[in-house]
Amino acid sequence: MVNTLLLFIRSVKKITINISLLCALLISTSVFSLTKITASIDKNPAMMNESILLTVVADDDINQNSLDTSSLLADFVVGRTSTSSQTSMVNFKTTKSTTWQISLIPKRIGEIIIPSLTIKNQQSSPISLVVMKKSDTATTQQDIFITSELSSTDIYVQQLFTLKLKLHF
């Protein structure tokens, strides 16, 4: 009788441990699922024939080819796209992100809407961009140069010195 009770307790422990491990696995995989995509541009307004940088960030480790930029071709010349992935772990909390940086050159003057971009059923918000005509007034070119000054002419290992840089324009 005692042996059957011990066998029953051991089997319950195994089942409990297996269920706990399964729950932990399910919870951990849902933590790494894609939940948000953000898009931003580096300047607004922009000038005609001037490139802008569109940055799209997904909060998960995503395949680099998952971002479809074909919707941008109607209003922009799409340039080089660079991709980076980042994983960080702080106090046992792991965060992952994938970032795309896309160079865009507007094709027309006026207000252009950068459409929402979709990755794995998640969408970014559309962005309104104002494109202005370059001014026709002749701008005068200014000479720009840098001068430097070192506090000492003879410098030794581990000696402190001061370096002054001046930008002249």
H or E element at residue 95: strand 93-106
Q: What is the tens place of the pLDDT at every residue in 44-98?
A: 888 888 889 999 998 888 888 888 888 888 888 888 888 888 888 888 888 888 8
Alpha helices per DSSP H over 32-164? none
Rg of the chain over all Cα atoms, to the nearest angstrom: 28
pLDDT tens, residue by residue, 2-30: 667 666 777 777 787 777 666 565 555 44
Q: Which residues does residue 94 pair with via DSSP β-bridges, in sequence order? A: 89
**What's the chain's length in residues?**
169
CB 72 within 8 A of CB 114: yes
Do the Cβ atoms of 131 and 47 come closer than 8 Å? Answer: yes
Of 33-37, 57-61, 83-87, 111-115, which gets the smallest average pLDDT? 33-37
Is this structure's pTM higher than 0.85?
no
Residue 122: phi, psi to the nearest 5?
-110, 140
